[in-house]
Amino acid sequence: MGLEKVFQEIYQCLIDLDRDCVLEGVKKALDMGASATSILLEPMSRAMNEIGRLYEEGEYFIAELIEAASIFKDVLGMLEDRLVRESKGLGGARRLTIVIGTVKGDVHDIGKTIVATMLQAQGHRVIDLGVDVSAEKFVEAVKKYNADVVGMSALLTTTARYMREIIEKLEEEGLRSRVFVVVGGAATSREFAQEIGADAWAKDAVEAVKLVEEFVKRVRGRR
Amino acid sequence: MDQVKITIPGHGVYIAPKGVNLGRFLASKKLLPLPCGGRGLCGQCIVRIIEGEVSSPTVYEKLRPGIGGEYRLACQTRVLGDTVVELIYKPRLVVPRYSIEIAIEEPKPIYRLIPYREVLTSYKELLLSSSIEGDLGGVISFNRVAVAGVREECMGEINHLLVDLGTTKIAYQIVDNNAKLVREGIVLNPLLSYGSDIITRLTKAVESRKAAIEMYNELNKTLPSLARENKCIGLCMVAGNSVMESLFLKMPLNTLAEKPFQPYLRGPFLHFLANNIPCLVAPLISGFVGGDAFADLALAEYLKTPTPYMIIDLGTNTEVILVASRNPVEVYVTSAPAGPAFEGHITAGSIMGAGGIERIWLKGFNDRGEAVFEYRGSPTGLLGSGVVSLVAEIVRNKLVDKRGRIVKGYRVVNGIKSFAITERPRPIVFTQIDLREFQKAMAAVKTSWKMLLDKAGCDPGDLRIVYIGGTFGSFIDPLDAMLLGLVPPIELSSIVVAGNMVLPGLKTLLFNRKHYKYMLELLPKIRHVNLAEEKDFMNKWIKNLEFNALD
């Protein structure tokens, strides 16, 4: 079997959420001499994009997203050492540090946790601050982890208002221009994101991942 | 400033400043509610611009099917010249199809009636409000029992006003001193123009003190009007959710709007209406389990319902109460943010009050293999009860798989699977994405009752009775509710579709002093479970997204 066919198998198995089949395929591909980077960038990422598309159509749902992210994480675990080795040689794909949390006053964490899980599956370093997170905590984490992206979530319109304060606090501390700010959650909208001075609005987890990937490309383009 | 003339056939001609927002203007004239608060999100404020100059469509309108040309969303439209506008939205009151009517044995009001002049002489130092100087009596509070002073001529024929202060509508009853019904009715909640859901209203009130005061004034004008031709109201008793009661009492709202999501004060409250009628307001159990749930519980307890039993009030905010045992007291409550799928926020959604399709059956399939449906109600949109019956039908007939993927009977429109409910007068569809929204609401409700049963160590099979309360619940077939997991799986004969439980609940509190005392003693013992803060809530919720009937 050619490598191309094995990649196709990995792609299809991940879409079908067949964990064993994906892991087997990845092993096969490695045996055949494929690089870990190519496995990630080709069948794995392509399958995640397709899963995202299926989610947007309603064909797939939250359980499928989480399942896919979990398989992705397993594969990442399997490839970790190789990725480090390969990236030393190649300069590597830039992965980001992302600080994420549900804002102060709000305790709803499902949406935020799904986003965090999916971003982690993409290989980013995700610092999940949990729920009821104050502006101070966001600022502290951005400094401590030298974050590239800040993700904020709120379910209620009453608590979403607090996002503005967090952005203002980032400004005050001189951190605003350093981070890409994405907001999301049922209480938010594109207009709302614009109004409070965020960089982007994600209507769901799939969109959040896409936005971050686009940001990665832009960052990479710059360097 | 330039002015424009807005003509609304059948309603009149209005003068407004040029550039006025049509939605807000019509709402201020009580001609149109703004369910989403005028944000362009719910698509309910459709109007037809028959003639005249208005602003061009916004992005919200461009995104919404059925809007375009003459048809506009009023809240997105500015009036730039004299216009003629037809209202498409026809407010309609939905009355619960069922309600428990109970007789009170030996009714005796919890407060004492004494002639008004005696209040002024004997109890003057205890008067709580200067409003006693007015036409009617005041209330003096002694150990949770009140005395109302009434005018001499009313002593023999005193009446009481019971009010269910709902989010969409206000239901009321006037009863005599023997707890016999004198008159009842329903009016739309005047706060509909501030948003159809409590969170939107709460946000407005928190952001603007002025809006909070307006809402307070609206409610305090509406309640006395319910009693207007009745001069001998001794006491008014009110129950509503925590947001409605807090707005009605002008209580601080910050603690409700964000963590800890609890009311500022718990009550019960004593309040005076604009015309000095004293008003006893039911206590709030927690932030999202309010005085209305307290009244529901009062009714079930008055009826000595065998334990363990459960009360589920389905809606955008679903309240669940589990009385596991009475001795020792083991009562749990929670609320589930079921979200807007039950009330309109889907492709072709409609809300109670606007009317729409309330029941749907699968009739068969056409020659293209697409499902054909029959329905009851007006084909203007899908009501929450219509959505529940539709989803139950497609699950029952296996048009979806366990995870909620549509597998049969659909057509693909713009790349999205959808069911066509009707084509005329406008297409009404239910899409795969709508189904996903519904699943989220369903999972929240399912998780909430399961979590309470877990807390108490009960199985669904242990439940002796499950009450389905509220108007929404009274329009749902209990078999559908059970199939979808909106209520626990128990014998059909143990389900009581109770409709409005708030008014009879208030009656039990008003006319039985012992029961009132018992309920107030129970109140601090009720355990509130906050779903969002429960361990493992997310995993349980995700599991509950599935249709268990298709296992």
Chain B 171-200, CB below 8 Å of chain A: which residues?
Answer: 199-200
pLDDT confidence of residue B200 = 85
Residue from the list B199, B435, B530 with its beta carbon closest to the beta carbon of A158: B199
Q: Which residues of A touch B545 (CB under 8 A)?
A: 61-63
Q: What stretches of B277-316 adopt beta strand conformation (E)?
A: 278-281, 309-313
- Rg of the Cα atoms in chain A: 18
Residue from the list A58, A132, A159 with its beta carbon closest to the beta carbon of B436: A58
Residue from the list B202, B435, B541 with its beta carbon closest to the beta carbon of A58: B435
CB contact under 8 A, B532 and A61: no
Q: Which residues of A touch B402 (CB under 8 A)?
A: none
Q: What stretches of B79-207 adopt beta strand conformation (E)?
A: 83-87, 112-115, 139-142, 145-150, 159-165, 169-176, 181-188
Q: Looking at the complex, does the CB of residue B429 fall below 8 Å from at least one CB of chain A?
A: no
Q: Is B101 helix (H, G, I), strand (E, B) or coil?
A: coil
Containing H/E element for B413?
strand B411-413
CB contact under 8 A, B257 and A105: yes
Nearest to B33 by CA among B464, B289, B343: B343
Q: Which residues of A touch B546 (CB under 8 A)?
A: 63
Question: CA of A75: how far to CAs of A4, A122, B348, B467, in Å?
Answer: 18, 11, 42, 49
Q: Which residues of A touch B533 (CB under 8 A)?
A: 107
Q: What stretches of chain A adopt beta strand conformation (E)?
A: 97-102, 125-128, 149-153, 180-184, 200-202
Q: Looking at the complex, does the CB of residue B439 fall below 8 Å from at least one CB of chain A?
A: yes
CB contact under 8 A, B202 and A158: yes
Q: Looking at the complex, does the CB of residue B533 fall below 8 Å from at least one CB of chain A?
A: yes
Residue from the list B206, B439, B532 with its beta carbon closest to the beta carbon of A107: B532
Distance from CA of B312 to the nearest CA of A (A): 22
Residue from the list B200, B404, B530 with its beta carbon closest to the beta carbon of A61: B404
Question: CA of B355: how far to CAs of B89, B191, B379, in Å?
Answer: 9, 18, 9
Distance from CA of B73 to the nearest CA of A (A): 18
Going from N- to C-terminal start, the domains of chain B cover 3-87, 112-290, 292-339+439-550, 343-435
CB contact under 8 A, A57 and B415: yes
pLDDT confidence of residue B378 = 85
- B283: CB partners within 8 A, 6+ apart: B266, B267, B268, B269, B291, B294, B520, B523
What is the torsion angle, in degrees rounded to the nearest 10, for the CA atoms of residue B277, residue B184, residue B380 and residue B406?
100
Distance from CA of B543 to the nearest CA of A (A): 8
Distance from CA of A221 to the nearest CA of B (A): 32
Taking CB atoms and an 8 Å cut-off, how many pairs form between chains A and B?
Answer: 76
Distance from CA of B363 to the nearest CA of A (A): 25
How far apart CA B23 and CA B26 sit, in angstroms, is 5
CB contact under 8 A, B258 and A157: no
Q: Which residues of B touch A113 (CB under 8 A)?
A: 538
- Give the count of alpha carbons within 13 A of B245, CB side only: 35
CB contact under 8 A, A63 and B545: yes
Nearest to B87 by CA among B379, B347, B380: B380
CATH assignment of B3-87, among 3.10.20.30, 3.30.450.20, 3.40.640.10, 3.30.1300.10: 3.10.20.30
Just give the CATH number of B112-290: 3.30.420.480
What domains appear along chain A, each with residue ranges and CATH number? 3-90 (1.10.1240.10), 97-222 (3.40.50.280)
Q: B160: which 2 tokens?
A: 């009481």
CB contact under 8 A, A106 and B415: no
Q: Looking at the complex, does the CB of residue B545 fall below 8 Å from at least one CB of chain A?
A: yes
Q: Which residue of A has its CA nearest to B533?
A: A107
Q: Which residues of B touch A105 (CB under 8 A)?
A: 257-259
Q: Looking at the complex, does the CB of residue B337 fall below 8 Å from at least one CB of chain A?
A: yes
Give the domain B292-339+439-550 fold: Nucleotidyltransferase; domain 5 (3.30.420)
Q: Which residue of A has its CA nearest to B258?
A: A105
Long-range contacts, B479-485 (Cβ 8 Å, 24+): B479/B392, B480/B388, B480/B389, B480/B392, B481/B314, B481/B388, B483/B392, B483/B395, B483/B396, B483/B549, B484/B388, B484/B391, B484/B392, B484/B395, B484/B442, B484/B547, B484/B549, B485/B442, B485/B445, B485/B446, B485/B544, B485/B548, B485/B549
pLDDT confidence of residue B143 = 43
3-state secondary structure B416-450: EEEEEEECCCCCEEEEHHHHHHHHHHHHHHHHHHH
Pick among A17, A61, A104, A156 to test the B interface (most B CBs inside 10 A): A61
pLDDT digits (tens, 9 = 90+) for A154-167: 988 888 889 999 99
pLDDT confidence of residue B198 = 85
CB contact under 8 A, A161 and B339: no
Q: Which residues of B touch A57 (CB under 8 A)?
A: 415-417, 432-433
CB contact under 8 A, B542 and A107: no
* Strands laid side by side in the B411-413 sheet: B411-413, B416-422, B428-431
Q: Which residue of B has its CA nearest to A113?
A: B538
Residue from the list B258, B431, B543 with its beta carbon closest to the beta carbon of A158: B258
Nearest to A184 by CA among A95, A123, A119, A137: A119
CB contact under 8 A, A108 and B337: yes
Distance from CA of B295 to the nearest CA of A (A): 27
Residue from the list B203, B436, B439 with its beta carbon closest to the beta carbon of A158: B203
Q: Which residue of B has its CA nearest to A53?
A: B415
Chain B 397-416, CB below 8 Å of chain A: which residues?
Answer: 403-406, 415-416
Question: CA of A10: how far to CAs of A18, A29, B161, in Å?
Answer: 9, 9, 69
Could you say which DSSP state residue B4 is in?
E
pLDDT confidence of residue B133 = 37
Distance from CA of B37 to the nearest CA of A (A): 12
Taking 70 as the pLDDT cut, the residues of chain A under it are: 87-94, 220-223
Question: pLDDT in tens for each of the 551 residues of chain B?
Answer: 689 999 888 778 889 999 999 988 888 877 777 767 777 777 778 888 989 999 988 877 877 767 778 889 898 999 999 999 988 765 555 555 566 778 888 888 887 666 666 655 665 554 444 333 333 334 444 444 455 666 666 767 788 999 999 888 899 999 988 898 888 888 888 998 888 778 889 999 998 999 999 999 999 889 988 887 777 888 889 999 999 999 999 888 988 888 888 898 888 887 877 666 778 899 999 988 999 999 999 999 999 999 999 999 988 789 999 999 999 999 999 998 776 667 666 777 776 666 788 899 999 999 999 999 999 988 888 888 899 999 999 999 999 999 999 999 999 988 899 999 998 777 889 999 999 989 999 999 999 999 999 999 999 999 999 999 988 888 899 999 999 999 999 998 899 988 899 999 999 999 998 999 899 999 999 999 988 788 888 889 999 999 988 88
Pick among A53, A54, A65, A110 to test the B interface (most B CBs inside 10 A): A110
Q: Which residues of B touch A131 (CB under 8 A)?
A: 532
CB contact under 8 A, A58 and B199: no
Burial of A183 (0-12, 13-18, 19+ CB in 10 A): buried
Distance from CA of B257 to the nearest CA of A (A): 6
How far apart CA B347 and CA B359 sit, in angstroms, is 17
Distance from CA of B258 to the nearest CA of A (A): 4
Q: Looking at the complex, does the CB of residue B544 fall below 8 Å from at least one CB of chain A?
A: no
Residue from the list A59, A63, A158 with its beta carbon closest to the beta carbon of B432: A59
B112-290 and B3-87 share a CATH fold: no
Distance from CA of A187 to the nearest CA of B (A): 10
How far apart CA B394 and CA B22 sit, in angstroms, is 40
CB contact under 8 A, A61 and B403: yes
